[in-house]
Structures are given as C-alpha cells and as structure tokens.
C-alpha cells in the first residue's frame, strides 16, 4: 500500500513538510509506503470550467504547463492521500486548491473510495476554517476521511517550529495510525480491533 502526501506549501521544507514527514514516518512504522510530493512555488492555473478534460477523457487537465497533471498521474498508484497546506487568511494555499479542483474533476475516478485526510499548519488562527475547506472536496469525491485525536492542525511560524508542537505532532502520528488501520480494513486485510494509540499529550502556547 502507498499513501500520497501533497505538500501544498511554497516552502519545500517548512512546517507543512514537518507535519507531513511525521505522518510519513509513522506510516513507515506501520509497513505502509508513502511519497511526499511538493507542489512547488511556480504559478498554478485555476480551473476555467472549459470542460475539455471531460471531453478528452484521458484524465488530464487541458493545461499542461504546471504541476497539476504530474501530481494527478500519481493518483492511480496511490491507496490513500493526505493534503497539507499552510493557512493564508483562514484559507488553504490557493495553488493547492487549484490543483485539487482541476485534478479531482479531470481524474477523480482514481481517488474515489480511497481514504484521505487534510492537514493545516498555521502560526495562530484560521486553521480550522482552512481544514474544513480542504476536507469538503474529499467528501464530494466519496473518499473516506481519516480522523485523529483532534483536528489535524499543527502550529508553528518559522521553518521547523512545528516540531515543537508536541500535541500537533502526536495528532499527526495518530492520524497516520488511523489511516493505516482504515487502509487495511478497506482492503480486507487483518487489522487490530482499534488503531494504535499513544497517551495523550496536551499542550498550550502560553509562555
């Protein structure tokens, strides 16, 4: 089994990567392969509702000058997905949303019925709104949504600071264990009665 993790931050090794890497490492401990794909920091087109992808039927967006089709091509070989984004004005990165909208519309058959999760990273506020925005397309695509012990949110500002959010990192690990459990169950493989759990590590940011 393989999980595709999409880093929707323009910073390749920032806090979004830190959160996704924690998930990937935990999936590895569960015996599940993963790949973190970075959307990059070059322009990404938005969908113009031309309908060409539906007409050509090849699973590709008609715009082939950005990363959308390259990421979309990985859908068929993936058994699960995690979409991670920083928070901009209470919303996910617009480039990531554009990729999801275009790839789901042009190649949605290869994400249908595969479990997925959204992850958002922020300095302070807006993460829940961005988290909800990322989850809405997953539900429309018939993708079972993997949950965690809390909303899938990690806090941090400067690159690497997310690792100091101990509860956030634990939330990522719990998400990964839950996703692994779902993947095994959906594939009819032997799975424990409940996913692996850690003792809860609650924290706050009062200094």
Reply yes or no on whether the pLDDT at 191 is more than 80: no
Over the stretch 73-132, which tens digit does the pLDDT of each residue have? 999 999 999 999 999 999 999 999 999 999 999 999 999 999 999 999 999 999 999 999
β-strand pairing of 80-88 with 91-92: antiparallel
Helix (H) or strand (E) holding 96: helix 94-107
Split at pLDDT 50, 70, 90, the class of 206 is confident
Fold of 2-186: Rossmann fold (3.40.50)
Q: What is the mean pLDDT of residues 65-75?
A: 98
Q: Please provide the distance, in angstroms rounded to a whole number, between the alpha carbons at the two ends of the chain.
A: 42
Please answer whether residues 175 and 154 qualify as being in contact, where contact means their C-beta atoms are separated by less than 8 angstroms: no
* Whole-structure pTM value: 0.96
Domain residue spans of the chain? 2-186
Over the stretch 21-43, which tens digit does the pLDDT of each residue have? 999 999 999 999 999 999 999 99
């Amino acid at each position: 089994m393989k999980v595709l993790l999409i880093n929707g931050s323009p910073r390749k090794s920032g806090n979004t990567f830190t959160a996704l890497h924690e998930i990937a490492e935990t999936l590895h401990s569960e015996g599940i392969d993963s790949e973190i794909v970075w959307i990059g920091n070059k322009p990404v087109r938005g969908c113009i509702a031309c309908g060409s992808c539906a007409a050509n039927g090849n699973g590709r967006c008609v715009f082939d000058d950005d990363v959308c089709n390259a990421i979309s091509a990985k859908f068929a070989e993936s058994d699960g997905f995690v979409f991670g984004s920083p928070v901009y004005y209470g919303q996910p990165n617009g480039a990531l949303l554009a990729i999801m909208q275009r790839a789901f519309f042009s190649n949605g058959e290869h994400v249908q019925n595969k479990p997925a999760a959204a992850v958002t990273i922020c300095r302070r506020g807006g993460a829940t709104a961005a988290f909800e925005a990322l989850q809405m397309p997953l539900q429309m695509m018939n993708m079972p949504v993997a949950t965690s012990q809390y909303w899938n949110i990690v806090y941090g500002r400067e690159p690497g600071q997310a690792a100091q959010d101990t509860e956030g990192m634990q939330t990522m690990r719990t998400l990964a264990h839950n996703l692994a459990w779902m993947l095994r169950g959906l594939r009819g493989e032997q799975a424990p009665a409940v996913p692996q759990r850690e003792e809860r590590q609650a924290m706050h940011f009062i200094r």
